[in-house]
Amino acid sequence: MSISPVPQPLPRIARFERYGFGLFLHWGLYSLLGQGEWVQHFRQMSVSEYERLAEDFRAKEFDAAAIARLAREAGARYVVFTTRHHDGFSLYDTRGLSDFDAPHSAAGRDLVAEFVEACRSEGLSPFLYHTTLDWRWNSADCDERQFNDYLDYVNASVEILCRNYGEIGGLWFDGNWSRKQADWQEDRLYAMIRKHQPEAMIINNTGMGARGRTGHPELDSTTFEQDLPVAPNRAGWPKYLAGEMCETMNGHWGVGNEDFRFKSPAEVIEHLCACRRIGANYLLNVGPTASGRIPDYEAAVLRLAGQWIQRTGRVIYDARPLETGCVGRDFVLQGDGAYYYFAFDLSRRGDAHVVTRGGGNGLRPVEGLPRRIRAARWIDNGETARFAQSPDAALFVLHCLGYDYGSDLVVRVAELIPED
Ligand code: GLC
């Protein structure tokens, strides 16, 4: 039985995969209310009541340059910014299409223009989120004629983004899940994007009910909303697709002022690693405040993630998955002529009177390394790692020491140098 070949990624898709880690920003009029981005829907606010929020949307603390610096400090390599969400308010100048946009609001400026400029200044790739669900158009339930008029409006809107903001790293759509049987005229939309932005990634979120599902041939990545991604079997696929998992820092995409259920820095580090285990990107969301500032806790978590990435030699970006058998959540990546063992759940070494967590250290077997190993070291401190292996390298055992008292990296990475 012939094995179907796995397609090679297009250059833009291979580049996207090497980005590895992205920052997602959900910000708009809903942020003024501090109850998530669906507040208009859940409070059943009328369009006229909701649109009055634009009079208070001043963006006083929206400092795109500071946000881009924070994203770079976090180790993110791309940023996805909500240019228009389901409420229909555009953070960009819709150039006559609608006056429900930031230049017509109290902010009085094109916030997307500031965002893309700031990303480029920090060497980050700007991605633009654009909704395809619009409550002002009743797009999920309107009749066919109205829906086709709506799609013309979406096309014209996205074309403004594709023609007026320089080179865009990607368009990130969200909302097709709201009208499942519809003809979304994706051929037209994606052909227009390819015409103006031939190297942009095109991503269309399949939502929590269809994680990892493939779709239109022009799409470049599958999406895993709010759950860890699973490795696809790309054998026989007509096109290599990347994978991307997006998740909130607490339970809300748009800022939720009463949501205290935040992820810890440790969870963020573990989820980043879990995505990279299968070569998927990790897109972590922050909801800026009403005035446009990144909240303190989220900023701190982002900085800690960046410190972890720095300490582990940035292997998180370029190393690729390697099929091996490891214990628990551990896994191996390969790159630069070496293998990288990711060890979860190690504990601190130290006096029993002071170390609170036991277990987790000791011997960890790896099956299936392609080559024998001649040396191993922990990337964070260069400490030599002891190991044993079978003559044919089929079995390798790494002696996983815990952390020196005073440190705990959550996930520790060992570089395994193969024999020549
Ligand atoms: C879901 C939510 C939407 C959010 C998106 C982020 O589609 O409905 O509000 O922007 O997830 O992926």
Which atom number of ligand 1 is nearest to the Cα of residue 85? 10
Sketch out the chain's domains with CATH numbers: 11-318 (3.20.20.80), 320-418 (2.60.40.1180)
Which residues approach ligand 1 with their CB closer than 6 A?
A: 26, 37-38, 174, 205, 207, 225, 246, 253
The confidence band for 353, taking pLDDT boundaries of 50, 70 and 90, is low
Q: Whose CA is nearest to atom 10 of ligand 1?
A: 253
In the block, residue with structure tokens 């269809």: 210
The confidence band for 199, taking pLDDT boundaries of 50, 70 and 90, is very high
pLDDT for 358? 55
Which atom number of ligand 1 is nearest to the Cα of residue 26? 10
pLDDT for 3? 80
Which atom number of ligand 1 is nearest to the Cα of residue 37? 9
Interval 151-165 mean pLDDT: 98
pTM here is: 0.97
The tokens describing 197, both together, are 């932005």
Counting ligand 1 atoms within 8 A of each CB, the residue from 35, 91, 205, 222 with the most, and so the one to mutate, is 205
Query: Tens digit of pLDDT for each residue in 265-284?
Result: 999 999 999 999 999 999 99
Interval 91-105 mean pLDDT: 98
Lowest mean pLDDT among 222-236, 273-287, 351-365, 389-403: 351-365
- CA 346 to centroid of ligand 1, rounded, Å: 35
User: Which amino acid, residue 141?
Assistant: D
The confidence band for 166, taking pLDDT boundaries of 50, 70 and 90, is very high
Q: Whose CA is nearest to atom 11 of ligand 1?
A: 207
Give the whole-number percent of the chain exceeding pLDDT 70.
97
pLDDT for 348? 82
Q: Whose CA is nearest to atom 9 of ligand 1?
A: 37
Give which of 391, 336, 328 is closest to 360, Cα–Cα: 328
Distance CA 230, CA 271 (A): 12
Query: Tens digit of pLDDT for each residue in 3-61?
Result: 889 999 999 999 999 999 999 999 999 999 999 999 999 999 999 999 999 999 999 99
The confidence band for 376, taking pLDDT boundaries of 50, 70 and 90, is very high
Interval 161-170 mean pLDDT: 98
pLDDT for 321? 97
Instruction: Assess whether pLDDT exceeds 90 at residue 356.
Output: no
Instruction: Assess whether pLDDT exceeds 90 at residue 351.
Output: no
pLDDT for 387? 98
- CA 193 to centroid of ligand 1, rounded, Å: 22
Interval 179-194 mean pLDDT: 97
Counting ligand 1 atoms within 8 A of each CB, the residue from 253, 255, 284 with the most, and so the one to mutate, is 253
Instruction: Assess whether pLDDT exceeds 90 at residue 342.
Output: yes
Counting ligand 1 atoms within 8 A of each CB, the residue from 82, 174, 221, 252 with the most, and so the one to mutate, is 174
